[in-house]
Structure 1
Amino acid sequence: QLDSSTGSSAYDALNRYSQHSSRRTFYQHTQLYILGRSAAEQGIYPFLDSIARNPINRPNVLMVVSEKKARDILSIQDGMESIQAMGMAAEIKLSAEYSQYPVVTYLEFAQRLLSETTAPLAPMVGIIEQAGPEGDSVKKTRINGTAVFKGDKMIGQLNEDESRGLLWAINKIKKGFLVIPGANLEIVTAKSKIIPELQDEKIKITIAIDEESNLLEYDGHREISSDLLQDLEKGQAREIERQVMAAVEKSQALNADVFGFGDTVHRKYKKEWPVLKARWEDIYPYIEVVVKVKTHVNEIGEINKALMRD
């Protein structure tokens, strides 16, 4: 059952809720904070401040932005959990585990907010309609993007490919799958590093990625030779680079440093940073970004010959 209350601030609403609730509020069980998109676009600083000041709030609660009102999301019974908030938290964590969208705690959001240049993020949840078992329409919740903030205001979002590209760049790829023409591969390990260079007052960023995978599916008819493995590795590298560059282009269009480039430049060029920081809004959209990817296919499965030949 979903209950609600309204007020002039977050704590005013909670205080008013306690006036008609039959149970005490117990914040230690909080799974996530869901912010409606309109509220996120207006600015969520008062909400963040109220959380930070109360010692009973936990820093590892997840941050989420809903496409519509938070109430609309929480009112949908979806998944295997009886409590929608718990099911959604599990869905977000599983999505991050399989490297689809980021999982962002309140602490991580606040740390990005405190950064001089890095843009805060949060996964986004929307509502879809599917045909039910009896042909009726059933509403379900789905993670469908990554909200990008400038300060405490949401200014845009990353789609699925751009969100995956962000995870590649910031070393948040854990496991998952990579689909390329003719093959599907399982990501085994992935490491990335952001390397800044300052030359003639211009910044160049190199994103170096090292990935290993196993072959899950191959729909061609070639034998699994060293030449084919090299082709698969090149295909992976191209796909990873495409995803990363998609995220770079969107973030530069939004002028929001989702990667933390500014922080890496600050750490390496401390003397030059004060001047760069003052101009970061003008610099960031035009930073040259180069993606270098090394991939390796470890396992090919139980067969090394195609079951059918051309």
Structure 2
Amino acid sequence: MRYQHNCFILLCMLFLTGCLQSSQLEKMGIITAKGTDVSDNGDIELSIVLFQFEAQSTNNTKIVSGKGKTIQGAIQNANYETNFKLSSEKLQLELFGREAAERGIHRFVDTLAREANLPNTMFLSLSNSSAKEIMLIQESGIAMNIGQYLHGVIDKNAPDHIFPKITLSAFLASLYDVGVDPILPIFELEDGIPKITKIGIFKEDKLVGEESIDDRVLYNLMHKKIKEETLFVTLPFTPFQKDVQQMLSQGEENLSTSFNILSGSSNTILKDKRDLSFQTNIKLELELTETSYQLNFKDEQVIRKLEQAVEKKLASTYKSILADLQQLNADSFGYGKTYRIHQKGNKLTKTEWHELYPKINVDFSVDANIIYHGEID
């Protein structure tokens, strides 16, 4: 039933656009997802998920593959596997294999940018292995169209355009803007099902490393205001030993906490251009939703202590992430954009910034205010 429902939705979308006549639909294969890999000899290998309209068929999804020296050549080669004319006007997701991403994806995203009819809701993502491996799950582990499925996983985890919802236009903006490097979500197979597990770190158009998806919220905070996001923070238990009312978890050495972010924002300033010294201020208003030990929140000092512990832990985590990014020479947080506005004429090249970026120093100041904690009088 769910598969039929998705088919019905896609059909409605196609008819409502007015772009296609009903007589043409039966001759077209609508590309919903495309996986891009690169072979050892440099050939492009595409795995294409099609939605095709055959009146007598019980399965409207088909996967075809093609190879070529160019994207268009690989699509033409894939066309030999089907009697449908392939159309990318409803492309929902572009998935790059790890090797292709490590070699660089500029040529691929540049080609996508030249396609005027691509929907602006199309997402970009990565596979921890080959894109083909993820796409072929369609035939075994996923009941619905794999393109719709992967698109839905990203969309579900990223309301209001929060990472890891990276559209083509958002990726290109980071790629071409001096002083910031792109990021993309990484899919990995777990028990035969694709799942977002990592944040792919790019230096310009090349994948150079990865960070834990658990740090997603911290990346969000560096780029925009956020709210209604869940924040998990693991704290040392020792400072709270005298504040425990009830032990909820046995044998735990840390205090595990979760918060709903009521509002969160950040701002960065360049303190000293010569010393490459920056200050990043993070401001959070939080609702405490869970702790692994029940604490005495009737004591206001316990709340203050918890706020201070969260502030210290987040500042430390940011320091650690930045150290990793500097090691990769990938400015995912965009400090180069702040530095550039202090340059004469805002002039700064990518090469110049990548020489300076590993040397920057950042003081992270976190102000966490726990507004609600759920304590019942």
What TM-score results when the alignment is normalised by the length of structure 1? 0.85
Paired with 1:68 and 1:236, the residues of 2 have a C-alpha distance of 36
Equivalences for 1:223-234 in 2 at 5 Å? 223-234=297-308
Match of 1:25 in 2: 86
Q: 1:186–1:213: 8 Å Cα contact kept in structure 2?
A: yes
* Selected match of 1:188 from 252, 255, 262: 262
Q: Which amino acid aligns with 2:325?
A: S
Unaligned runs of 5+ residues in structure 2 are 1-61, 235-254
Q: 1:154 to 1:50 in 2, by over 3 A?
A: same
Q: 1:14 to 1:265 in 2, by over 3 A?
A: same
Could you tell me how far 1:105 is from its partner in structure 2?
A: 1.0
Match of 2:232 in 1: 178
Q: Which amino acid aligns with 2:304?
A: Q
Q: What RMSD, in angstroms, separates the aligned Cα atoms of the two structures? A: 2.6
Could you tell me how far 1:285 is from its partner in structure 2?
A: 0.8
Could you tell me how far 1:41 is from its partner in structure 2?
A: 1.0
Match of 1:113 in 2: 175
Q: Which amino acid aligns with 1:41?
A: E
* Selected match of 1:205 from 266, 271, 278: 278
Could you tell me how far 1:112 is from its partner in structure 2?
A: 1.2
1:259 aligns with 2:320: no
Could you tell me how far 1:232 is from its partner in structure 2?
A: 1.9
Aligned residues with identical type, % of pairs: 24
Tell me, what secondary structure is at the counterpart of 1:76? helix
Paired with 2:215 and 2:324, the residues of 1 have a C-alpha distance of 8
Q: Which structure is larger by alpha-carbon Rg, 1 or 2?
A: 2
What count of residue pairs does the alignment treat as equivalent?
293
Paired with 2:160 and 2:212, the residues of 1 have a C-alpha distance of 16
Equivalences for 1:1-310 in 2 at 5 Å? 1-77=62-138, 82-97=144-159, 102-129=164-191, 139-171=192-224, 173-174=226-227, 175-180=229-234, 181-199=255-273, 201-218=274-291, 219-267=293-341, 269-271=342-344, 274=347, 279-301=352-374, 303-304=376-377
| CA deviation profile, 1:153-203 (whole Å, cap 9, x unmatched) | 21111223444432232236441132332533222211111222334x122
Match of 1:307 in 2: none
Match of 2:27 in 1: none
Paired with 2:64 and 2:348, the residues of 1 have a C-alpha distance of 51
Paired with 2:206 and 2:256, the residues of 1 have a C-alpha distance of 42
What TM-score results when the alignment is normalised by the length of structure 2? 0.71
Tell me, what secondary structure is at the counterpart of 2:298? coil
Q: 2:232–2:256: 8 Å Cα contact kept in structure 1?
A: no
Higher relative contact order (CA 8 A, sep 6+): 1
Tell me, what secondary structure is at the counterpart of 1:3? strand
Q: 1:176–1:186: 8 Å Cα contact kept in structure 2?
A: yes
Could you tell me how far 1:99 is from its partner in structure 2?
A: 10
Q: 2:123–2:165: 8 Å Cα contact kept in structure 1?
A: yes
